[in-house]
Structures are given as C-alpha cells and as structure tokens.
Amino acid sequence: MKKNLILIAGVVAVLVAVLTFSRPKLDENEAFKILEAARANYNRDNLGGALEHFRILLKKYPSSKFAEESQRFVIYIYEKRQDYTGALNEYKKYLKKFRNTPFTAEFSYKTGFVLYKFLSKPKPARVALMRVIKEHPESEYSLKSKELLSEIFKATGKDEETVKLAESYGVSNKEKNSDGLNISQMEAYWRLGKHNEAYNFAKQIPKKSQQVKESTIYWQLLVKFEPNKENYSGLSEAYQRLGFPEQAKIYRKKAGLSR
C-alpha cells in the first residue's frame, strides 16, 4: 500500500512538472511586441495581419495584461468586416473571460443587437438584452437595451411586455428615457387601451422630435387630452405623411385651416 502511494505521488509530481514546463512562460515584453505589430497592422487597415498577431498573443499569452485589448480588437476587426456571426462568437469569448471591464456592457448589448438585427433570433436577443438591464442598470447600454427590446416586442405583438418593461425596469438614476423609448411605451399603452398612461409618456416627448412626426398615436393622444388647433394640425400632417389624405382633411378642417 505504501509503495503504491509513493508511486502515485511520483506520477503526480512528474505530471505537474511536465505541465509547468510545457506552459509558455509569461513574457510581457514579447507580448507587447506582438501587440505593437498587431496595432500597426490595424492602423494601416491590414486587418488580416492584425487579426493574426492579436490571435498569436491570445494563444501564446492568454493571461497577459494585453489579452483584454487583443480580444477587444479581434471583435473590432470582425465588426469592420461586417462578419456578424464571427463578431458574435468573439463577444461570447470576451464576456466569458472579461466580465467587469468598461466594455462589458457594450459587448453584452451588441450580442443582443446582432442576434436580432442580423441573425433574426429574437428570443436569444431578448435574453441578452434583459441581462444588460439587470447587470448594468446604470450603463447607457441599459437604455439602448430597453429601446431594442421595445422594438422586438412591437414586432412580435407583445405590447404587454413593453408595458412590463416600463413598470418593472424604469429609468435608473443616471438615465433619462429617450424619445424613441417614450414613443414605444406610449404606443404600447395606447394599443392596450391604457390611454392615461400613454398620455403620460406622450407629455415627455417634444413636439419637435423627429420621431413623432409620423406617429398618429402621439397626435391622437394630444388631440384627446389637449384638443386645440396646434394638435389637430399635427394629427392632420401625420395622416398626410402616412398617405391618408381624407383623414388629414378632417383634422385640417378641425384646426380651422384651409384646404
């Protein structure tokens, strides 16, 4: 029994020694030289050469202090090439290894963005975007995630989910609802018949906002709660832009405008 234990201990010691000596020693000077070559290629738009050097650094020195930058620039290269499937794979690698950097929220959001916009996968996109909201509530990408989620919910006929998003994940201390998010939430409440709540969002949107020009719901709300010449005129113009001249004529008349 004792001999067996000694034998096992010897085998373990040999394995540890082999692993130790086979593992590449961390040489930050060499890693930096590889990084410089990668940067130089990237700045010359030699993306192939840059990608090769960044990957060499990541493979040879995965624990280097330059690994995070290298992985980040691998992502930028795929984005420049508009290879969104490749970029998605690199986002996942980055987020697995680097969880708390100034770029974590951005790449988490981009994961959802690529899944929805380029790969037509709304379900996993929703999961990724909700993760951003929960894990990075103070980040600008939390607001961007809410905007994109609202777009996904509208496209898939889930207005109640947009309402839930508004009620469960309101703006954080550092956020202010964008016009786009206010419009999405306003329209969702309107379609669900909750006009008072919809009007509360409408009041937060400037009339000069580019995004409300074609929103008949916005102007219908204002006409409902603030029936005046300006709002009748706004609704008329919205209908006209959308190609409904008869409805436009009705509200031009109510606004007291000539034909």
Q: How far apart are CA 54 and CA 243, in angstroms?
A: 53
CATH class of 29-98: mainly alpha
What is the tens place of the pLDDT at every residue in 66-80?
Answer: 999 999 999 999 999
- Token output for 227: 């029936």
Domain boundaries, the chain: 29-98, 102-176
Dump pLDDT digits (tens) for 181-222: 899 999 999 999 999 999 999 999 998 888 887 789 999 999
- Using one digit for the tens of pLDDT, what is the confidence trace for 64-122? 999 999 999 999 999 999 999 999 999 999 999 998 899 999 999 999 999 999 999 99
Check whether 253 has a pLDDT greater than 70. yes
Phi, psi of 226, rounded to the nearest 5 degrees: -135, 70
DSSP H or E stretch at residue 40 = helix 28-43
Which residue, chain included where needed, has tokens 């919205």?
238
Alpha carbons 238 and 225: distance in angstroms, whole number: 17
